[in-house]
Amino acid sequence: MLPSFSYVRPGTLGDAVKQAASEGAGVLAGGTDLLGCMRDGILPLTKLVSMSGVKGLGGIGKRPDGGLTIGSLTTITEVAESAVVRENYPAVSMAASEVASPQLRNQGTIGGNLCQKPRCWYYRGDFHCLRKGGDRCFAAGGENPYHCIFGGGPCFIVHASDIAPALVAFGASVRTSGPKGERTVPVGKFHVLPSVDVRRDTVLEAGEIVTAIELPPAPKGARSLYRKVRARNSWDFALAGAAIVVTMNDKTVTSARIVLSGAAPIPWRSKETEDAVTGKRLDDKVIAKAADAVVLNAMPLAQNGYKLHLFRGIIREELKKLAGA
Ligand SMILES: Cc1cc2nc3c(=O)[nH]c(=O)nc-3n(C[C@H](O)[C@H](O)[C@H](O)COP(=O)(O)OP(=O)(O)OC[C@H]3O[C@@H](n4cnc5c(N)ncnc54)[C@H](O)[C@@H]3O)c2cc1C
């Protein structure tokens, strides 16, 4: 059952920041994750600060440098269907269209997608785990088929967003406004590993609100895609996935950014795979080496070793597509 809470709908960003910084307050965008978290007892909020009255946080616009600004309240459907996103950042568009179901994409926002809480069944269930201030991670020795194979410990969640890896692959940043003013944080540094702070998902401070996502111009001639593997084809979170952005000179890879989903507690940049292809001709031999490289430093748990096969297969299949594109 949802606990009782009060609801405010500020009309300005300044007021929203003030309200969000007050005791027990939380930021409400589309509510698709937040309300479930409150029902599950993992967000003990007493006041919801709706962003819906704050003007200027929605929509997609071109930046003077040729990049894009996506307002934090832009719905995931708008991102998925935007022609300018699809044309310049195909991996972002593909990732957005793979999120959840049409209804959730219509209601959920890109800001909320980056800030959503992890889906670990112990964390969301009746277990006083490390992330909730307890003294152990129940997944470590428990049911862990959907948990991480990189970056785990002391907690073994996976980061849930499909869009974040694609944003990291394009070098995007998050713009925020908070009690200490505005700042810009690379999406690659926005999420927090459990080994750094097991109680935090992002670097956001109390009252700090994501106002926009900034995408730099895509590298000239970049080819990109997002591949997601899930347990069923309707809606589901990624068991494994990858956002890949490469530039190529004929068949030779001149730059590569490869970021995994379903792999780690944060979007996981696979430098091993990037190194395996950069400066190389993307032929079958190099692709096979890259597929081995993606799992080189993986540390699977008792029940998620199958993810190694998924990541190898994803890298093999998707690099082949990009080589032939
Ligand atoms: C059944 C189901 C399936 C799903 N499947 C997928 C999937 O396959 N892939 C995927 O990527 N996601 C999936 N999701 C997650 C979904 O994408 C998120 O719930 C949604 O993007 C959150 O957006 P929202 O606007 O509803 O955020 P809310 O629910 O309003 O907020 C989510 C969190 O972000 C914070 N927040 C929101 N906006 C801001 C802001 N501007 N500044 C600071 N903090 C903010 C809130 O305080 C809250 O903690 C699924 C969700 C559900 C319920």
| Predicted local distance difference test score (pLDDT) of residue 98 | 97
Q: Within 10 A of 153 (CB to CB), how many other CB atoms are there?
A: 14
Q: What is the DSSP letter of 151?
A: S
Amino acid at 281: R
Give CA–CA dist 171/290, Å, rounded: 21
Which candidate, 191, 195, 206, 183, places its Cα nearest to that of 19? 206
As for ligand 1, residues whose beta carbon falls within 6 Å of it are: 26-34, 36, 51, 72, 76, 99-100, 104, 107-109, 111-113, 115-116, 160-163, 204, 209-210, 235-237
> Of ligand 1's atoms, which has the minimum distance to the CA of residue 36?
53
φ, ψ of residue 97 to 5 degrees: the values are -75, -10
Q: Could you check whether the bond before residue 219 is cis, i.e. omega within 30 degrees of 0? A: no
In this structure, which residue's CA is closest to atom 19 in ligand 1?
A: 33
Q: Within 10 A of 196 (CB to CB), how many other CB atoms are there?
A: 11
| Predicted local distance difference test score (pLDDT) of residue 209 | 98
- CA 76–ligand 1 middle distance (angstroms): 10
Neighbouring C-alpha atoms within 13 Å toward the C-beta of 138:
15
- CA 260–ligand 1 middle distance (angstroms): 19
| Predicted local distance difference test score (pLDDT) of residue 68 | 98
Distances (CA, A) of 44 to 48, 137, 258, 277: 11, 20, 36, 46
φ, ψ of residue 54 to 5 degrees: the values are -90, 120
Give CA–CA dist 325/314, Å, rounded: 16
Q: Are 105 and 80 in contact (CB under 8 A)?
A: yes
- CA 275–ligand 1 middle distance (angstroms): 33
Per-run averaged pLDDT (10 residues), the chain, 325 residues: 94 98 98 96 95 97 97 98 98 98 97 97 96 97 98 98 98 98 98 98 97 97 97 89 97 97 98 98 97 98 98 98 89
Give CA–CA dist 150/301, Å, rounded: 10
Residue 183 burial (10 A CB sphere; 0-12, 13-18, 19+): middle
| Predicted local distance difference test score (pLDDT) of residue 221 | 93
Q: What is the DSSP letter of 141?
A: T
| Predicted local distance difference test score (pLDDT) of residue 232 | 85
209-215/47-50 β-pairing? unpaired
| Predicted local distance difference test score (pLDDT) of residue 96 | 98
